[in-house]
Amino acid sequence: MGDPWYVQSIYNEYCVHVLYTSDHNPISPHEDTHLMTLTWGLSTPFIQEGLVEYMVGHAWDKKSHSEYVKNGLAKRS
């Protein structure tokens, strides 16, 4: 798919492709939300991911958004 992650929503096929490994079991509402919002039209990837993570309530790896912000700010110090 050209992306190093384990799950992809394929909008023109209206499906989700998943690669399961011993370390990754990527079942979550994240990709389903991508597919459900297709009726709103395609948008830029930044808006697509932001919308999905906002609606799901956490990042793709189930970490809270505030944890990412806090860690990012700590790296700048």
- Is residue 42 domain-resident? yes
For residue 68, count other CB atoms closer than 10 A to its CB.
14
Global pTM? 0.55
Give a yes or no: residue 14 inside a domain: yes
**What are the tens digits of pLDDT across the range 30-51?**
777 878 888 787 777 778 888 8
Residue 36 included in any domain: yes
Q: Does a structural domain hold residue 32?
A: yes
Q: How many domains does the chain have?
A: 1
Q: How far apart are CA 39 and CA 28, in angstroms?
A: 20
For residue range 3-35, what is the model confidence (pLDDT) as tens digits?
Answer: 556 677 777 787 777 777 777 666 667 777 878
3-state secondary structure of 7: strand
Instruction: Answer whether residue 67 is part of any domain.
Output: yes
41: containing domain? 7-76
In a domain, 2, yes or no: no
